[in-house]
Structure 1
Amino acid sequence: MIGVRRATGDGGVIAVVGASGAVGRATVRHLGASGGALRLGARRPIEKQTSTTVTRVDVEDPAALHDFCSGAAVVANCAGPSGVVGDRVARVALAVGAHYVDPAGDDRLAALVAPLTAGSDRCAVLSAGMMPGLSGVLPRYLIGTLPTPARWLTGHVGGRDHFSPAGAADYLRADEFGTVHAVWHAGHLVPSAPTGRAASVPFFPEPVLSTPFLSTEAVRIAAATGLTEVRWHSVYADGHLAALLRGAASPDQPTSEALRRAARLDLFGRSPYQVIVVEAGGDDGSARAVALWGRGASELTGAMVAHCASRLRDEGGPPGTHHAADLLDPVATVTAMRHAEAVTRIVEVDSTGGLRVREGTL
């Protein structure tokens, strides 16, 4: 991240809104490991959550938000669901002169936040979670390791994990963040056949259901790097959640509670995990892959929010509204993730294109 304006808040304080939620707790743990002053706020504070007092703050109370954010160098919004919170925290944080970080966002939130940073010296970083966020940083990192310009990219993201209430609500809005059963080819979205059964995918520890899902983040990367073909997939361990999603058809989508219940059943006696696998190759036949294993989506999202917030506090950031994957230095971010508690392993391999999985072969 190229800093042109350092944070100037009260002693470099990072204020975390939604600090008692799954993502908020993970963010606070990662920020605590990196050092620095924290200010924590939540609608329902958890007693003895950390050594830092958690202030009661409701995102629907602009006055309370103003008092909480005032004097902070950076405000990290971990409250959700993102479709409900929208730009409420961003409006207050930027108005009081803080930089802003949000693990959610994508195009709709960016359109709301961009006018708030126009003409100011503040930096707002959106899409700073696991996906979008880390799922965009890894492709950019991988593309940078190829000896020739990348032409194609394949990604698989998912695993066996919890669904928080906010996460389930945001999942049901997935059509705002991408297109199901689509791939990117020669500058256009092209339909892709749905996957009907679970199968083995490289680097995943068990059979998974892999569904083509072309995220808007992946489209932005394709446009920025000149990729001809992008195939992106959401992945779920074979079990109750995969069965629920396999049988779901619009307009009869599963409810938020049904998603959470299926995920809980899948986790009975098991540990949560998330895997991000990205492979890229060039016209010369060279190809490389990078795989990252994490302890869960909330943990990985917390690690990314903490990384972005720390960098903004220490280095500042370019004025305006940015998506994390477009702004962060890929090498520095992957290096930071290698040392993050949320990440269990990262490997890189020369793949010669052998890991690509096309629809119809699963």
Structure 2
Amino acid sequence: MIGLLGATGAVGRTAAQRIAAYDLGPLRVGGRNLTSATALAASLAAPAQAIRVDLNDPAELAAFCEGCRIVVNCAGPTYQVLDTVARAAFAAGADYVDIGGELAAKDALTSGDVAGDQTAVFSAGVMPGLSGLLPRLLAKERPLRRLDVYVGGAAVFTPLSAVDALLTRGPKFGVPMAAWRDGRVVPNTLTPLHQVRLPGFPVPVHAWPYLTTEAQTLAADTGAHEVRSYNVFVSNRLPEALAAVWADADDTGPAALAPHADTVVRASLQDNADFGAFYVMLFTARPGPDGLPGPTRVLITAVDSYALSGVVMALATRAVLSGSVPPGVHLAAEVLDPDATAAALRDDPLVDDLTVV
């Protein structure tokens, strides 16, 4: 049995459809709205049962996980979930895949006693997730002089995703305006790029430097001399909205930031109204001094970043169930196979284009 939480959300629905299509086994889909979960279960191309479950109720969560081979969590927000569902899955003898989590959840899960023969994969979405995985296609068996990461577009934020975005500050998430050079983070070395034309982006965009912890790990793992990572926006509305909330909030905790989520949501809706919906991930490489041959660009485009995250969740689930992910607690970008992931994404109808050249 494959347990899928948050199944009726923007990410979970696609994850459920792909898991069913991959013929990985029967599903147990859970959510707070039993009517919606039941309708989804009936629509899937695999046997599925619907269960009402509240992640904040330990008894309901334990009952949901019981009997599952793997628990797949598409519910949020990340700052509330952390390692709660992962621990419930491990207690039931199940493996685990999560759309979020990042270092905070990984560290929380590994801080106590966890089963040594079980597997957990966090951050199995687009960013973090694909943003740290696909660039590895450019660095196979050769050091790079420079690697640039551009991720973003015109995606509508939900209130929960807005709060998660507002919480992406601090050492566990990244360093603004920083680059990676010669094996270390160099702060205050980059500036925003305004109204630039980038391959794959249909309009001129604004690219704000933000060296995520995922990008730092990518740099260390690949041996790249320099890594620059940018969050890309179609206007300055979202960067300005985020900055305004960070300046006005009493502190950086969820309780202080949550009331300001509407500011971020409204900015994203305005961008969507002006530019439509699109999501682009562009990775460019400059070879090292040895000049070894290899690709220099990876480009993936899609309409819906949430649905694309659902595809990644299903691929991570398939990888864990197939045994290609070793036991332990991992981040998706560090443990999934980039070639296999790219091949699967290239064939998925939700991906408009994926090229490696």
Same fold (TM over 0.5): yes
Aligned to 1:257: 262
Instruction: Select which of 15, 36, 40 maps to 1:49.
Output: 40
The answer on 1:222 being equivalent to 2:228 is no
List aligned pairs for 1:157-168, cutoff 5 A. Answer: 157-168=151-162
Matched, 1:212 2:209: yes
Q: Distance in 2 between matches of 1:342 and 1:267?
A: 19
* 1:110 lines up with 2:100 in the alignment: no
Query: Which residue of 118, 122, 133 maps to 2:129?
Result: 133
Q: How does 1:305-324 map to 2 (within 5 A)?
A: 305-315=313-323, 317-324=325-332
Residues 161-310 of structure 1: matches in 2 within 5 Å? 161-175=155-169, 176-190=172-186, 191-195=188-192, 197-238=194-235, 240-241=237-238, 244-245=241-242, 248=244, 250-252=246-248, 255-268=260-273, 271-281=276-286, 282-285=288-291, 288-310=296-318
Corresponding position: 1:81 with 2:72: no
Deviates more, 1:314-323 or 1:249-258: 249-258
Separation in structure 1 between the aligned mates of residue 33 and residue 275 of structure 2, nearest angstrom = 28
Distance change (3 Å), C-alpha of 1:86 and 1:66:
same
Structure 2 contact 135–283 (Cα < 8 Å) conserved: yes
Mapped pair 1:94 → 2:90: yes
Aligned residue number for residue 4 of structure 2: 16
Instruction: State how far apart, in whole Å, the 1-side matches of 2:26 and 2:121 are.
Output: 20
CA distance in 2, matches of 1:173, 1:157: 18
The answer to whether the Cα contact below 8 Å between 1:142 and 1:289 also exists between their aligned partners in 2 is yes
SS across alignment from 2:216:
helix
Q: CA RMSD in A?
A: 2.2
Q: Specify the SS of the correspondent of 2:148.
A: strand
Task: Tell me the amino acid that sits aligned with residue 210 of structure 1.
Answer: A
CA contact (8 A) 1:293 1:343 kept: yes
Over the matched positions of the two proteins, sequence identity in percent amounts to 37
State the distance in 2 between where 1:102 and 1:291 align.
25
In 2 relative to 1, CA 105–174 (structure 1 residues): closer, same or farther, beyond 3 Å?
same
> Of Structure 1 and Structure 2, which has the larger fraction of its residues in helix?
2
Pairs aligned (count): 334
Closer/same/farther in 2, CA of residues 249 and 44 from structure 1, 3 Å limit: closer
How far the C-alpha of 1:46 sits from its partner, in A, is 4.7
TM-score normalised by structure 2 residue count: 0.87
Between stretches 103-112 and 68-77, larger displacement belongs to: 103-112
CA drift of 1:178 comes to 1.2
Quote the offset at 1:53 in angstroms. 4.2
> What is the deviation of 1:315?
2.7
SS in 1 for 2:76: coil
> Which deviations, in whole Å up to 9, do the C-alpha atoms of 1:2-43 show, x marking residues without a partner?
xxxxxxxxxxx2111111222112211222322231110012
Code of the residue aligned with 1:155 in structure 2: it is V
Give the distance between the partners of 1:28 and 1:21, measured in 2 at CA: 10
Unaligned runs of 5+ in 2: 43-47, 250-256
Within 5 Å, which residues of 2 pair with 1:305-344? Answer: 305-315=313-323, 317-344=325-352
How far does residue 116 in structure 1 lie from its aligned partner after superposition?
5.5
Q: How far off is 1:343 after superposition?
A: 1.3
Shift of 1:325: 1.3
Is the 1:153–1:279 Cα contact (8 Å) retained in structure 2? yes
TM-score (norm 1): 0.86
Which amino acid is the alignment partner of residue 345 of structure 1?
D
Q: CA offsets per residue over residues 302-347 of structure 1, 9 Å max, x none?
A: 1111101122223363111011111111111111111223311111
Residue pair 1:17, 1:41 contacting (<8 A) in 2 also: yes
Give the equivalent residue in structure 1 for 2:252: none
CA contact 1:117–1:124 (8 Å) conserved in 2: no
User: Which whole-Å CA distance do the structure 2 matches of 1:327 and 1:121 have between them?
Assistant: 16
- Pairs within 5 Å for 1:148-163: 148-163=142-157
Q: Please say which of residues 254-263 and 101-110 is displaced more in the overlay.
A: 254-263
